[in-house]
Amino acid sequence: MMDIIITGCSKSGKTSIRKVVFDKKYPNETIFNEPTNKPENIQVESLGYSYLNLTEFPSSFSSNNMIEYDKYLNTCQALIFIIDTQNTLNPQYEYFKNIISLFNKYNDIYLWVFFHKTDNLDVAQTDYNEQRAELKSKIKQIVKGAKLDDLDVNYYATSIYNSSLFEAFSQIFQNILPQNKNLSSLIDNLSINCRFEKAFLFDVYNKFYLAVDCSPNKAQHYEMCTDIIDLALDVSGIYGNQKEDEEIDSYFDENSICSIKLNSKVNDDSKDILFLKFIHKNFALIAIINEDIYERNNLLDYNINMFKQGVKTILKFK
């Protein structure tokens, strides 16, 4: 079981985040969200590897009503605080200071700060980087002022209009998922043995990655992975052999694969291939691999099969 709390000031985007990531809503469907007046708790069972308890706290949460929220706080593993980057008023930083002071007495809680609503900023522009650095500096000063210097704070720039939220939650899950250390070791060994340039273990339905190898992660990697997932699902949905009494995702199985030759703007002779192979009903290995290695089927099949069995054992799949 994983327990996560989302909090922040009113209209910071807490409800939109929850609905886009976990209720699969389109961003434009979250424009007219009702204000959150009490804790909103959802249980996400579609993860397959663990149940998720996600609780959104209203902005009225404070030291005055701690008893009401105690049942959520006692089991919380990760706290996500939303900073609205389009709101330059100071109250949200004061609220952040109050919140982390309240959470400080609860041990082993990971703190994540989402600099949210960054879609109106150009990531390539200098002012974006300056603003993000300024926001980080404000948060660090608040943490230091609250005498919480040992508090480990993680930062993400997020928006409901791109993949940043899914990447952020992927990182959170890797921090609180008990099996992550074993999964990471497993995918590192696979990547070394198969000479992958990069490898991920993806939850296909939710588009979270639960493990990633230790090679450098590039900004475009996540987008590439979700693109090949969409391609595999779309093609399987059209041409797959599905029985009438089976679920909608039954047109692929553990033998389903997809591969795409990658083009490089720098090197026209690039031999990189983006490779996806399902290893369970809702899980896929996605890797970037050199074409020469890709053609060595026996090497790949053997190592991926061993990886598959390892994942099933760790996550206790049947």
pLDDT in tens, 107-139: 677 889 999 988 765 554 556 667 777 778 888
Q: Give pTM, 2 decimals.
A: 0.87
pLDDT in tens, 298-317: 889 999 999 999 999 998 87
**Phi/psi at 51 (5° precision):** -85, 145
Q: What is the mean pLDDT of residues 94-117?
A: 82
- What is the residue type of 57? F
Burial pattern 246-278, b for ≥16 Cβ within 10 A else e, equals: eeebebbeeebebeeeeeeeeeeeeebbbbbbb
- What is the residue type of 292? D
Q: How far is CA 272 from CA 15, 231, 302, in A?
A: 40, 18, 21
Report the C-alpha gap between 204 and 281 in whole angstroms: 9
CB 290 within 8 A of CB 271: yes
Q: Per this entry, what is the length of the chain?
A: 318
Query: Residue ranges of the alpha helices (H) in the chain?
Result: 14-22, 66-73, 91-103, 126-145, 164-176, 180-194, 221-239, 291-294, 297-315
Q: What is the mean pLDDT of residues 32-43?
A: 88
